[in-house]
């Protein structure tokens, strides 16, 4: 397994497009995870606090991307 990761890293150093592609895939995966987790957890948190979740508006992919950008640049 070590040799496969070394080979992949060597290919990434040789091709900046591959590195940029991996970065984009990672960013999109983070965005999807933020969107999914927010839309699953937030209504339950509101309901558990005694309020109603009737006015809940699910987070869009664009809004989740903005949240990922915000926390990426803050850290």
| Residue tagged 């949240």 (tokens) | 67
| Residue tagged 């890293």 (tokens) | 9
Say if residues 35 and 64 touch (Cβ distance below 8 Å).
Answer: yes
> What radius of gyration, in Å, describes the C-alpha atoms of the chain?
18
Total domains in the chain come to 1
pTM greater than the 0.85 cutoff: no
28 vs 60: CA distance, rounded Å: 13
- The domain in which residue 66 lies consists of 2-74
Mean pLDDT of 1-28: 77
Residue 37 has pLDDT above 90, yes or no: yes
By CB atoms closer than 10 A (0-12, 13-18, 19+), residue 64 is buried
Mean pLDDT of 48-55: 82
The more confidently predicted of residues 23 and 65 is: 65
């Amino acid at each position: 397994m070590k040799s496969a990761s070394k080979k992949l890293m060597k290919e990434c150093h040789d091709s900046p497009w591959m590195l940029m592609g991996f970065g984009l895939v990672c960013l999109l995966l983070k965005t999807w995870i933020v969107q999914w987790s927010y839309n699953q957890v937030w209504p339950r948190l509101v309901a558990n606090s005694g309020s109603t979740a009737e006015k809940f508006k699910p987070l869009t992919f664009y809004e989740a991307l903005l949240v990922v950008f915000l926390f990426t640049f803050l850290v």
